A and B are shown apart, each in its own frame.
Chain A
Amino acid sequence: MSAAETLDLGVTRGGDARFLQCATLSKTFDTRTGIVEALRKIELDVPLGEFVCFLGASGCGKSTLLSIIGGLETPSAGQVLLNGKAIVKPSPDLSFVFQDHGLFPWMTVEQNCAFSLKASGMGRAARLAKAREYLALVGLQGFGTRFPHELSGGMKQRVGIARALTTDPKLLLMDEPFGALDAQTRANLQQELLRIWSGRQATVLFVTHSIDEALILADRIVVFHPRPGRIRADVRVALPRPRDIHAPEFGAMARELEALLQTPT
């Protein structure tokens, strides 16, 4: 499937509907003030290639769900299946992009980008070559020998995205990656992300609390409610890409989502 087609359709692409499954997933935390129910009986199926946004206010468990899917945390009940296999630890098929970019300040941009490959045992020359290739993909050729503190916030997050892509993941988990960026940089990176995603066969789970961001990016928006964290609605976004935030359809969906976020269950 070509990139142009994807952009035009902006709807579910073909693929195995059972790529990712969350089955009666629950998570509780023991805290000083008592037991907190972070997630209650989450049921979610995501096919390969879909761009899904988790939308909700802080504390609704959407980041926790992402961590569980990524194998960084274990559920209290239920399980996550990736291609039918239960995830109990981070899988080589998935990568994370973190909100505060998660770059190692003592490594150069290149070394940061190559870290996942190094962890997988790839040799030095090969992994640096691949890192440079992905840095070019995100528009950072020539910045490989800089240290992270020499980059702007947007550039740092580009490195974070490049690093996540180096292992050619089937599942990309993004935890409010653009949350700390200014509006213009954010808009640019959103378009970059769509461009990169449309060129590959990968599922993206993208956590955000911005309705606009979810509507610009997603094929499908899963709306969360807090206390306990649970799925309130599962909305398909059938608007063509690139999406115009000033279009009346966009505004209508934004209002619908806002209502979903606010109404009590």
Chain B
Amino acid sequence: MRASRALGLVPILVLLLAWQWAASAGLYAAVLLPPPLAVAQVFLDEPAQLAYHMMASLTRVAIGVGWAFVIAVPLGLLIGRYHWLDMLTDWSIQMFRSFPPISLIPLALLFFGIGDKPAVVLIFISAFWPLIINTIFGVRSVERTLLRVAKSSRAGEWLIFTDIMLPASLPAIFTGLRLAIGAGWLTVVTAEMIAVRSGLGYMILNAQMTFRSDLIIAGILVIGVVGLAADQGVRALRGYLCRWQEGLTASPE
């Protein structure tokens, strides 16, 4: 029997119960660990504030990941196709992708000052590597026969990219996109704690200074839910665009 999607709610409910129990047992002072209902109250009392900061974070991620996508995917297609480009870039990619985005924050602040720019640049950087690496991997996985078909059909390079390389790499590109959004979403919160005066990261840090644990937890919940929603959205899009894959790949029992 195929397990229901609702099964995914079980760990979340268990966590909620444990939280409720910890709060009512008085393990920590209520000001440090407010009960779930108190946090729910934040969503009712301050929806405008939460929405404002959420949109600020979302916008930064969208811009950063968007730029990373339009640059990393074409570049990845080229690197995957041309061996000399791979030789040229491989070491650099492997080295630069090892830098934790947080370690780049000081430099980003020096270069771009306080504001949206350093945050977006950092998101761009953290989203760039999973996208380009997965795109290159996708191109590599194109079946050799299909390239022979293209060559014998006398397809031009442009047609090979648009009709073969890109669609063949699409499943891998979507994997890259999921990782990129995840990395960008992690980075935005960190960057917002330092560089800007809006966004969920800023809101959470600000709430810490005013002892608003309820607001901190509410912010963290929004981060988690938005992350889940973004991932589900990308998966749905992948399911549609890569529907030709059905029956070609293994599905879990």
Contact = CB atoms under 8 A, between A and B. Distances in A.
B155 interface: yes
A250 interface: no
A104 B145 contact: no
A90 B151 CA distance: 7
A208 interface: no
B125 to A, nearest CB: 31
Contacts of B151: 72, 90
A90 B170 contact: no
B167 A104 contact: yes
Interface residues of A, number: 25
Q: Is the interface of B mostly helix, strand, loop or mixed?
A: helix
B244 interface: yes
A106 B159 contact: no
B152 A104 contact: no
A78 B98 CA distance: 51
B150 interface: yes
B144 to A, nearest CB: 10
Given A106-B167, A106-B168, A119 B150 contact: yes
Given A70-B152, A90-B151, A102-B146, A149 B244 contact: yes
A98 B148 contact: yes
Nearest to A92: B154
B248 interface: yes
B245 interface: yes
B246 interface: yes
A120 B145 contact: no
A54 interface: no
Contact of A149 (B152, B155, B247): B247
A95 interface: yes
Contacts of B159: 118-119
B148 A115 contact: no
Nearest to A71: B152
Contact of B244 (A70, A94, A106): A106
Contacts of B154: 89-90, 92, 116, 119-120
A252 B179 CA distance: 65
A105 interface: yes
B249 to A, nearest CB: 10
A98 B145 contact: yes
A119 B156 contact: yes
A150 B154 CA distance: 27
Given A104-B167, A118-B163, A120-B154, 6 more contacts: A90-B153, A98-B145, A102-B145, A115-B155, A147-B243, A149-B246
Interface of A: 70-72, 89-90, 92, 94-96, 98, 100, 102, 104-107, 115-116, 118-120, 147-150
A-B pairs, top 5 by smallest CB distance, nearest first, are: A119-B155, A106-B167, A116-B153, A102-B149, A96-B152
27 contacts: A89-B154, A90-B153, A92-B154, A95-B152, A96-B148, A96-B149, A98-B145, A98-B149, A100-B145, A102-B145, A104-B149, A104-B167, A106-B168, A106-B170, A106-B244, A107-B244, A115-B149, A115-B163, A116-B153, A118-B159, A119-B150, A119-B153, A119-B154, A119-B155, A148-B244, A149-B244, A150-B247
